[in-house]
Amino acid sequence: MEIKGRKVAVVGMGGVFPTCANLEEFSEKLFSNKSLIREWDKALEQDKKIRSKVSGFVTEKEMNIEPVYSTLLENYPEVFIDLLNRIPDSNLSTADIGSIWAMLASLDAVKMAGWSNNETQSEGTGVVVGSGGAGHEILRHAWHNFFELDKKSRSVGSHTVDRAMVYRDAANVSCLIKNRGVCESIGSACATGLGNIGYAYRLIKFGLQDRVVAGGVEGTSLETFVGFDAMQVLSRGFSPEESSRPFDKDRNGFVCSFGAGIVCLEEYEMAKARGANILAVIDNYHNNSDGDGDMFYPSFNGQQRLWKGLLGETGTKPDVVKAHGTSTPAGDAIELLSIVDCLGSKDYHISAPKSQFGHMLGAAGAVEFITAILMLQKQKVLPCLNANHLNLEQENFQKTDKWQGPTSPLADFRDILPQQSFEKEINYITCLNYGFGGTNSAILISKDNS
């Protein structure tokens, strides 16, 4: 159970972002209404085998990481070198590229938090970091060499398991910072990033931890891209910067992207007592399942219950809703209508960060949580880029007898979907993320007004 009066503060954040060297550049580009999406050379190399060619991707070179390839196996990255010496070699030996993103982001977040080694390396500090997929590049080349090229198992070395296991990101971060509390990884598809932060919030709120390093990561992987391209859910037919277009009438799929977002959470009074810079306060977290048995299609009822669980009878109305906003035809429409059903259509705005950097899958909720904190800090709303033309007609599902939500077309909500960043007083932000399997997550954050 929650401990009465125990609050949770956000005291640090860091990440790995497409086309950006650091958090400062990421923030500058976002609030300048820039897109971080570009054509991906690896997708272009596949020619007609892949429909979509754009991504918000991050390369090893851009992050000053260099792969060292095996002399025994074809195309197998045996280890990575950190050219800036941020991560010790011993930690790099157990990491795939996603785990490296997570470790780099964690180092930045812990530095911003100002935690001492005694605080970080204590039983009161946990790690909760998850990913949407496995260590695909490690596995692909290891299994290709074993099954197709008939190499012996020992030729892949002794680290295939720890570099590809489900909880590799949390494990590598934990070994890097040497915490002695919880070390866990929660996977909930595209809600993973926010789900891990929400779970970390509960660990502190319930008195089980005092501090937690939390977030999500998605290491750059063509395998992930191919899987979604096969489902025909990726955007195509637009220029890179116009490909991600949440809520736009012509949206035809999301942009598959990669990166990492890590935040440091701390019990509020402890943070205040040591003079920490409190970036935001987490007021509540709620998650649920649709319960309709559908793996993919969004549920208006599930999202209604999510909002009720988050806000309850508090009467709190966010100034900004950070939407999931993937650019999928049904997903965007149902999400917008569920927001309007709960909050009405005035006195708040909707931000869709995926319009600027695409869908980072397991990292999405965490990176977008960071964008929400940036909005609080700057008192500016990030845009819904490319939401140029909203549907003037009802969606098909709105015309059915089963539909019980708002009946207005999406175009009626033009005023709450800004296409450019702008200044506004912001005290509360709600972050929304959803995932395959009908999983829904929502978190409410606010400014520290003490």
| pLDDT score at 73 | 87
Residue 4 pLDDT > 90, yes or no? no
Residue 135 pLDDT > 90, yes or no? no
Q: Nearest-CA neighbor of 353 among 31, 54, 14, 55? A: 31
Q: Tell me: the pLDDT tens digits for 151-187?
A: 999 888 888 898 999 999 999 999 999 999 999 999 9
Q: How many domains does the chain have?
A: 1
Mean pLDDT value across the chain: 96
| CB-count exposure of residue 158 (10 Å: 0-12, 13-18, 19+) | exposed
CB 68, CB 77: distance < 8 Å? yes
Contacts with 220 (C-beta within 8 Å, 6 or more apart), sequence order: 57, 58, 59, 97, 98, 258
Confidence class of residue 317 from pLDDT cuts 50, 70 and 90? very high
Catalytic residues: 190, 324, 359
What DSSP assignment string belongs to 87-106? S-HHHHTT--HHHHHHHHHH
Q: Nearest-CA neighbor of 104 among 80, 140, 135, 132? A: 80
Contacts with 153 (C-beta within 8 Å, 6 or more apart), sequence order: 146
| pLDDT score at 417 | 98
CB 105, CB 262: distance < 8 Å? yes
* Locus of tokens 């490909």: 243
Does the residue 373 lie in any domain?
Answer: yes
Alpha carbon distance 201, 190 (integer Å): 19
Q: Which two tokens stand for residue 184?
A: 């866990």
Mean pLDDT of 39-63: 96
Instruction: Count Cβ atoms below 10 Å from residue 288 Cβ, excluding itself.
Output: 18
Alpha carbon distance 363, 365 (integer Å): 6
CB 141, CB 73: distance < 8 Å? yes
CATH number of the domain where residue 53 is located: 3.40.47.10
Does the residue 2 lie in any domain?
Answer: no
| CB-count exposure of residue 89 (10 Å: 0-12, 13-18, 19+) | exposed
Cα of 28 vs its chain's centroid, Å: 19
Q: Tell me: the pLDDT tens digits for 345-382?
A: 999 999 999 999 999 999 999 999 999 999 999 999 99
Residue 1 pLDDT > 80, yes or no? no
314 vs 300, which has greater pLDDT?
300
Residue 267 pLDDT > 90, yes or no? yes
Alpha carbon distance 35, 26 (integer Å): 10
| pLDDT score at 224 | 93
Alpha carbon distance 371, 389 (integer Å): 25
Does the residue 3 lie in any domain?
Answer: no
pTM over 0.85: yes
Range of the domain at 176: 8-400+409-446
Confidence class of residue 138 from pLDDT cuts 50, 70 and 90? confident
- Residue 339's identity, in one-letter code, is I
Does the residue 30 lie in any domain?
Answer: yes
Does the residue 1 lie in any domain?
Answer: no
The torsion region of residue 33 among left (phi > 0), alpha (psi -120 to 50) and beta comes to left
